[in-house]
Structure 1
Amino acid sequence: MNVIFLLAPFSVVLGLIAVGAFVWTLRSGQYDDIEGSAARILIEDDAESDKPAP
């Protein structure tokens, strides 16, 4: 029973750290262009295709 007095504050602190990390990613613009990143992998880069194959 004494373990709950240790685990409850620990879980609250861990949850606050997770919420803080989520807010930090929102403010840093991590989720601004979701579709652009998905489409960027499909676009061929002309500079890369001009290089001769080894």
Structure 2
Amino acid sequence: MMSSLTFLIPIALLLGLVALCAFLWSLRSGQYEDLDGAAARILLDEDTPG
């Protein structure tokens, strides 16, 4: 029982650290800058003929 915990806890901490790094990378690269634009873009009709 304890040997499995000593194996699983570091893996869980490592996965949490990877998720945190991915989230911080997405913040710094501007993924959350224009949330309203993406919501309004779905309403635009771009399929109208020329």
TM over 0.5: yes
Structure-1 separation of matches of 2:35 and 2:20: 21
Q: Which whole-Å CA distance do the structure 2 matches of 1:44 and 1:10 have between them?
A: 47
* Cα distance, 1:23 vs structure 2: 0.3
Count residues in correspondence.
49
Q: Report runs of 4+ in structure 1 exceeding 3 Å deviation.
A: none
One-letter identity of the residue aligned with 2:28: R
Identify unmatched segments of 5+ residues in structure 1: none
| Structure 2 unaligned blocks of 5 or more | none
RMSD: 1.1
- For 1:26, the equivalent position in structure 2 comes to 27
Task: Give the TM-score, by structure 1 length.
Answer: 0.81
Q: Could you say which residue in structure 1 is the equivalent of 2:48? A: 49
